[in-house]
Each structure stands twice: as structure tokens, then as C-alpha cells.
């Protein structure tokens, strides 16, 4: 069985046209249509990775004003 792969785009009317197939007229062929995975952006997924960390007042309370018991 000879395989032939081609990538094409569906036209606005919902059809796909494949030209220049390496088969003879009258040959029986099997056609499978499969959607492609969307391409992932090549941008940085983790923009803070490797950046320096700076702690401002690391020993102070966090959200101290949110505690009702302290009032």
C-alpha cells in the first residue's frame, strides 16, 4: 500500500481539493481527514523563571488588617 501525505486548508465552502496525486486514474484510494493540533505560541510560558526574587519585609505579618480579633 502506497501512502501519500499532504497538508491543505479547508476552503470557505467546506471543501478540500488535492491536486497532483501520485496515483493513476481509476486506482482505488482510501481518504482519511484529520484535523491538526493548533500550533502553540513560541512565547515564554514562564516569564518569571530565572528572575531574581526580592523579599520586602519578609518577617512582617501578612494581611494583618484582615484579622477581626486584633481590633
In a domain, residue 5? The reply is yes
State the cell numbers at 22.
501520485
Give pLDDT tens digits for 40-49: 777 788 889 9
Assigned domain for 23 exists:
yes
pLDDT tens figures, 6-38: 888 899 999 999 988 889 999 999 989 888 888
Q: CB count, 10 Å around CB of 6? A: 9
Domain contains 46: no
In a domain, 16, yes or no: yes
The answer as to whether 9 is a domain residue is yes
User: Residues with Cβ < 8 Å from 10, sequence gap 6 or more?
Assistant: 16
Domain count, the chain: 1
Flag whether 14 is in a domain.
yes
**Cβ-proximal residues to 22 (8 Å cutoff; 6+ apart), any chain:** 2, 4
Cα separation, 17 vs 11, whole angstroms: 9
All 3 cell numbers of residue 10?
479547508
| Distance between CA atoms of residues 6 and 31, nearest Å | 11
Single pTM value for the model: 0.44
Whether 50 is covered by a domain: the verdict is no
Domain limits for position 26:
1-35
Amino acid at each position: 500500500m502506497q501512502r501519500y501525505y499532504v497538508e491543505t486548508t479547508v476552503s470557505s465552502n467546506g471543501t478540500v481539493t488535492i491536486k497532483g496525486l501520485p496515483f493513476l486514474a481509476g486506482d482505488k484510494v482510501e481518504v482519511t481527514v484529520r484535523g491538526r493540533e493548533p500550533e502553540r505560541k513560541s512565547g515564554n510560558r514562564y516569564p518569571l523563571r530565572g528572575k531574581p526574587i526580592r523579599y520586602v519585609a519578609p518577617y512582617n505579618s501578612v494581611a494583618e488588617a484582615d484579622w477581626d480579633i486584633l481590633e
